[in-house]
Amino acid sequence: MTASRYSSRLFVVDCSSMLPKLPLLGAVLASFALNCAATPLTRCLGYPDDAKLAIVNADDVGMHPDLDRAAFRLLDEGKIQDLSLMVPAPHFAAAAAEVRQRHKAVGLHLTLTDEWQEDYGWGAVLPREQVPSLYNPEGRLWGSIEELAAHADIDDVRRELLAQIQKARDAGLTITHLDTHMVFWRIRNDFINLYLSLPKLTGIPVVLQLLWHPVAQQLPLSRGEQLRGNVVADSYIMQYNPEIRPQNLEVRYDGYDFAVRDLPPGLHQFAIHPAEDTPDARQRIGDIMLRLSDFQVWEGPDIHRLMKEKGIQTTDYQRLQALQEAINRQPRNCLNETPAVSR
């Protein structure tokens, strides 16, 4: 999956134009786009309406040891707040052991595709005889979300996602949030409906990965999900753009700086993909320069200094997960109060 670099600059918008460009997602979320009022999520978490909160989450943990080391280093240094583990990936067990050692609650990067195939392949958690539509002829998960959409039976998808959650729980992990590898949920209406049903089914919040929209356009869509009882962050920022990343680490990538400078009040998730620089990672991981660049940015002081200057506080998904459980028990709650009017 590729995405062009964008700045999340604030601008005056017509809320009727905020629906996703992808028709399937637009059909499902159109009824949830409301007005431009601020969301009450920060208030639910005990912060004032004008608070700016961020969660920085490292994806793809469990895929390769050099990716995992980078993510855990950033976590241990307090430079990111959360991780998302890939349960079907080859190094999940080792990553889970690292999590248990730290007594850290984590997210799951729900995975139904394997874009690496021959170089670094994996299958589903469930065997092929239980979820046959999720396997390609080579015995791996499908290599793209388009192939997945063409072949997957929704019942197989449901069984596999629940099996990934159960395997993580059986490994002794406390799960705070669910997101998806390659954002597979966006490709089919029934995938979208299944994904958005997981918080009520499991008690675990999902991440609304609307990365193809600037932050200002995400806010009313996120608000719609909040009103339905899903504790989603107000925006999701992922800059997956390997085609424009510096190919020389002497050049620092500045795309995250633009996002931080223009961040509005609310709770925002940054999804990053850090890696350590080793010969094996350079050989096996096709987008390694993006991952090295992400590690350089978030390990260095500049982005954290900028966040402090802009008054951005950090939190983690444990607080959102506790709020999700409370909302599942009580339909009338702080998220469906009348939101404050933006000033």
pLDDT tens-digit series, residues 145-167: 999 999 999 999 999 999 999 99
**Residue range 194-216, pLDDT digits in tens:** 999 999 999 999 999 998 999 99
Q: How far is it, in rounded angstroms, from Cα 263 to Cα 330?
A: 31
End-to-end CA distance of the chain: 37
142 token code pair: 């499908």
Helix or strand (DSSP H, E) at 52: strand 52-61
Range 167-194 average pLDDT: 97
Q: Worst-scoring range by mean pLDDT, 25-29, 190-194, 250-254, 263-267?
A: 25-29
Helix or strand (DSSP H, E) at 238: strand 235-238
pLDDT for 7 beyond 80: no
Q: Which pLDDT value is given to residue 332?
A: 83
Residue (of 225, 270, 293) closest to 20 by Cα position: 225
| Crossing angle of helices 288-299 and 65-76, rounded to 10° | 10
Q: Which pLDDT value is given to residue 89?
A: 96
Q: How far is it, in rounded angstroms, from Cα 326 to Cα 68?
A: 32
More confident residue, 93 or 223: 93
Query: What global pTM score does this model have?
Result: 0.87
**Residue range 314-327, pLDDT digits in tens:** 999 999 999 999 99
Q: Which pLDDT value is given to residue 74?
A: 98
Q: How far is it, in rounded angstroms, from Cα 63 to Cα 115?
A: 12
Question: What is the domain partition of the chain in residue ranges?
Answer: 49-329
Q: Which pLDDT value is given to residue 342?
A: 41
Q: How far is it, in rounded angstroms, from Cα 233 to Cα 26?
A: 19
Residue (of 233, 100, 124) closest to 174 by Cα position: 100
**Residue range 274-301, pLDDT digits in tens:** 999 999 999 989 899 999 999 999 999 9
Q: Which pLDDT value is given to residue 39?
A: 57
Q: Which pLDDT value is given to residue 192?
A: 96
DSSP assignment of 322-340? HHHHHHHH-SSSGGGSPPP
Whether residue 263 contacts residue 310, with contact meaning beta carbons closer than 8 Å, is answered with: yes
pLDDT for 230 beyond 50: yes
**Residue range 15-67, pLDDT digits in tens:** 333 334 444 454 444 444 444 444 589 999 999 989 999 999 999 999 999 99
Residue (of 20, 60, 18) closest to 240 by Cα position: 60
Residue (of 133, 136, 125) closest to 155 by Cα position: 133
Q: Which pLDDT value is given to residue 116?
A: 83
Q: Which pLDDT value is given to residue 22?
A: 46
For 49-329, which CATH class? alpha beta
- Own/partner contacts of 285-290, CB < 8 Å, gap of 24 or more, are 285/64, 285/66, 285/67, 285/120, 286/116, 286/119, 287/242, 289/242, 289/245, 289/246, 289/247, 290/240, 290/241, 290/242, 290/245
* Phi and psi torsions of 272, nearest 5°: -125, 165
Q: Which pLDDT value is given to residue 289?
A: 96
**Residue range 71-129, pLDDT digits in tens:** 999 999 999 999 999 999 999 999 999 999 999 999 999 999 998 877 778 999 999 99
Q: How far is it, in rounded angstroms, from Cα 167 to Cα 169?
A: 5
